[in-house]
Every structure is written in C-alpha cells, then in structure tokens.
C-alpha cells in the first residue's frame, strides 16, 4: 500500500474513532501529513505551545514590566461561589442570563451594598473534587466559613442573614474551613493570558501539593476574574500568618518556578514573597511615588479594630490617595507645591532685576564712551 494512502487512512480513522480528536495539532500539520509531506506532530504541537506562551503565557513581553505593590483590590471580606468549571465560564459570568446563580448573588450584593458593613468582594471558583466542594457552596474569608448548596431562591435570605446582619444562615448549615486555600485566575474567556497561565499554575500547585503530602492542608482551584489580567499568573492565597490570623495575599507574574516558594515560604513559613506581591485583603496601603521602596505594610491595632467593627471610613480616609497606574501615586503636597511656586517666582523676579540692572549700566557706559569721544574730537579740532 502506498505510504500516502496508508497515512491518510490512519488519520481518517483517528479523526472518526478516537474519543479525543487531535485538537492540539494544527490544521497545517494534518494537511501536510495527508499530502505526504513528512511532519512531526510532536514538534508541531510544541511549536504552537511555544508561540502561545510568547503571546499569552509566561514568556510574553509585558511580564515584570509593571510595579505590583498596591495593585490589589481594597476589601475586607471575600466570598467565593463554587460554580461549574472555569472552561465553561462566559466572559461576564456575573451578568450571564444562562448562569442565574452567580448573576443573582452579584445583583443582591450590589443592591444591599449600603447595608453590608464590611466591604465584600465576590469571586467565582471552580468545583473540584479535591476542594471538597459542590456547586452552590459558599466559601467566606477570612472567617473560614463554608455554607452548602446555595440556590437562586435562597440568595436574598443568605445575603440578609450572613452579610447584612452578621448572623448564621437560617436555611443552611455552617461549616468551618481549615488549612490554606489557593485561588488561581484561569478565566479564559475573560482574558486569554489568565486562560493560558492559570491552568498551568494549578497543575504545578497540585503536583507539588501531592508530592509534599499537603493534600489535607492546602487546596487549590481556579477562580474568575479578579482584576489585572496583565499581571497573569494571578494568585490569591488565604493562609494563617505568623500571628495565626487568616490573611488573603494577592500575587502577580507568578510562574511555575515560583510555586515552590509560595508553598514553602508563604504558606509554610508565613513569609511574603515581595517581588510578586500585589497587596492583601484588609490592607489599605499608602501608595507613594517611591514604589521601589515599598515594603509589606503593617496594620496597626487601631486599624484592625476599625476593620473588625465594620467601619472602614477612618482607615480608608487616613490612607486616602489619588492612585495612578501600577501603584504610582499622583498625590502632591499642596504646601510643598506652594513653596515651589514661590521659589520659582522669586528666582524669576531676581533674574529680571539683575537683567534690568545690567541694561542700565550698559547704557551709562555707552553714554560715557560717546562723551569721551566727543571731547577728544573737540581737542583734535582745536589743535589743527
């Protein structure tokens, strides 16, 4: 049998009968193969993956180009609604008419935002077996609480009981969470960068968690858009700090090579990886022009008390600042600005004064020179 006919028949058989079609192979590779052109499928798939990595993955040109500190959202409580797979999430999940549970919960939070004393952020997370969650479950941080099986018809009562009044949900059983939780943005239809980087990071976390026997202590799953896709891979880790309190830290530009440090140093030792750090839940950091000198800020007892009481205005106001892109502040000291203006005005005034003085002296000099010439010419005339 001719080689071309044999190869074509094999490809046709695979396409029709393989349970998983060769979706990873390019159309060019199949055409070349059917035409009898030698083609290495593995090489072609690798080339496509490398090209995607350069465009959207860890090799893209924008990696490490922006300052990270100060780019996390300011909030004090994080709700995660466990819902389907990240591969099925539409771009605007919380506004999708085909996904009524996340849409209803998001709408209820917006409608009651003035009644909810603690600034609350909603994110969707993927349902995974190793997370021990089911669709409709709610995870709440930093309280480390889980509620099972929220339905669309329960949303208003849940928001009113738990978020507005601070009580347990009357229709649901409250469970406690333990250990550390890692959420990786993998919202592919919202932004391809997180769609490429997220699943790779989740796989790397899962592999190391397994090898380090941390399955009962660390759980990882995909989450929806959290802001800042250009910082992909974006990771949020909820774990206990050195003081034992649960804190949510945001990281950006995370690559597979950073996963061991996040597990061993951040989760294992309570250390913050500053070069990747975007900020943290409950932290209102004063952003300055000297972004390079920023350190992980400390929260004072007074600020903690303010946040625990649900009153954010005082702490937010004291750290209020006009924040520009990538954590760079556009704030200016008014008094310093006035001093600068006065200093500039004084300099200009002095300059003009000196200029006028020089002109007067020059004019006197010219007049004097003309007089000397006139007298000399008079003597010259008389001598003749």
Nearest CA among 88, 89, 126 for reference residue 206 = 126
In this predicted structure, the answer to whether residue 381 has a pLDDT above a threshold of 90 is: no
Contact 101, 152 (CB under 8 A): yes
* pLDDT value at residue 258: 98
- Please report the pLDDT score of residue 236 as a whole number: 98
Whether 253 shows a pLDDT value over 80: the answer reads yes
pLDDT in tens, 326-359: 333 333 344 444 444 444 444 444 444 444 455 5
- Indicate the angle between helix axes 3-17 and 27-34, nearest 10 degrees: 140
pTM of the model: 0.65
Q: Which of 68-82, 135-149, 229-243, 291-305 has the lowest mean pLDDT?
A: 291-305
**Mean pLDDT over residues 37-61, rounded?**
76
Share above pLDDT 70 across residues of the chain, in percent, rounded to a whole number: 61
pLDDT at 243: 84
* pLDDT tens readout for residues 126-160: 999 888 999 999 999 999 999 999 999 999 999 99
How many other CB atoms are found less than 10 A from the CB of residue 185?
A: 30
Which pLDDT value is given to residue 244?
86
Per-residue model confidence as pLDDT tens digits over 2-25:
544 444 444 444 444 334 333 333
The predicted model gives 175-203 an average pLDDT of: 97
Residue 48: per-residue pLDDT: 72
Assign 79 to helix, strand or coil: strand
| pLDDT of the residue at 31 | 39
Please tell me the distance from the alpha carbon of residue 303 to that of residue 321, in angstroms, as a whole number.
17
Measured at the alpha carbon of residue 202, what is the angle toward residues 196 and 203, in degrees to the nearest 5? 95
């Amino acid at each position: 049998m001719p080689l071309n006919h044999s190869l074509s028949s094999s490809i046709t058989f695979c396409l029709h009968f393989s349970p998983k079609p060769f979706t990873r192979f390019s159309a060019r590779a199949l055409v070349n193969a059917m035409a009898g052109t030698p083609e290495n499928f593995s090489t072609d798939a690798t080339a496509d993956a490398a090209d995607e990595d350069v465009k959207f993955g860890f090799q893209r040109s924008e990696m490490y180009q922006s300052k990270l500190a100060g780019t996390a959202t300011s909030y004090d409580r994080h709700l995660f609604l466990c819902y389907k797979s990240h591969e099925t999430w539409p771009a605007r999940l919380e506004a999708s008419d085909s996904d009524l549970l996340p849409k209803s919960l998001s709408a209820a939070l917006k409608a009651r935002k003035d009644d909810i004393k603690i600034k609350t952020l909603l994110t969707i997370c993927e349902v995974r077996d190793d997370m021990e969650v089911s669709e409709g479950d709610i995870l709440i941080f930093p309280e480390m609480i889980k509620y099972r099986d929220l339905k669309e018809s329960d949303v208003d009562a849940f928001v009113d009981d738990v978020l507005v009044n601070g009580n347990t949900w009357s229709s649901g059983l409250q469970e406690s969470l333990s250990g550390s939780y890692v959420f990786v943005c993998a919202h592919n239809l919202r932004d391809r960068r997180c769609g490429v980087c997220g699943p790779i990071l989740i796989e790397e976390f899962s592999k190391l968690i397994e090898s380090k026997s941390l399955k009962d202590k660390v759980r990882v799953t995909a989450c929806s858009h959290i802001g800042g896709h250009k910082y992909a891979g974006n990771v949020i880790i909820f774990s206990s700090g050195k003081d034992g309190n649960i804190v949510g830290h945001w990281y950006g530009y995370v690559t597979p090579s950073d996963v061991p440090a996040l597990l061993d140093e951040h989760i294992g030792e309570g250390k913050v990886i500053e070069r990747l750090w975007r900020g943290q839940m409950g932290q209102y950091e004063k952003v300055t022009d000297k972004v390079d000198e920023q350190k992980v800020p400390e929260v004072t007892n007074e600020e903690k008390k303010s946040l625990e009481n649900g009153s954010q205005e005082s702490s937010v106001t004291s750290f209020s600042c006009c924040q520009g892109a990538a954590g760079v502040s556009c704030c200016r000291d008014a008094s310093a600005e006035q001093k600068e203006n006065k200093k500039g005005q004084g300099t200009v005034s002095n300059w003009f004064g000196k200029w006028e003085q020089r002109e007067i002296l020059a004019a006197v000099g010219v007049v004097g020179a003309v007089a000397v010439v006139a007298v000399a010419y008079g003597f010259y005339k008389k001598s003749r």
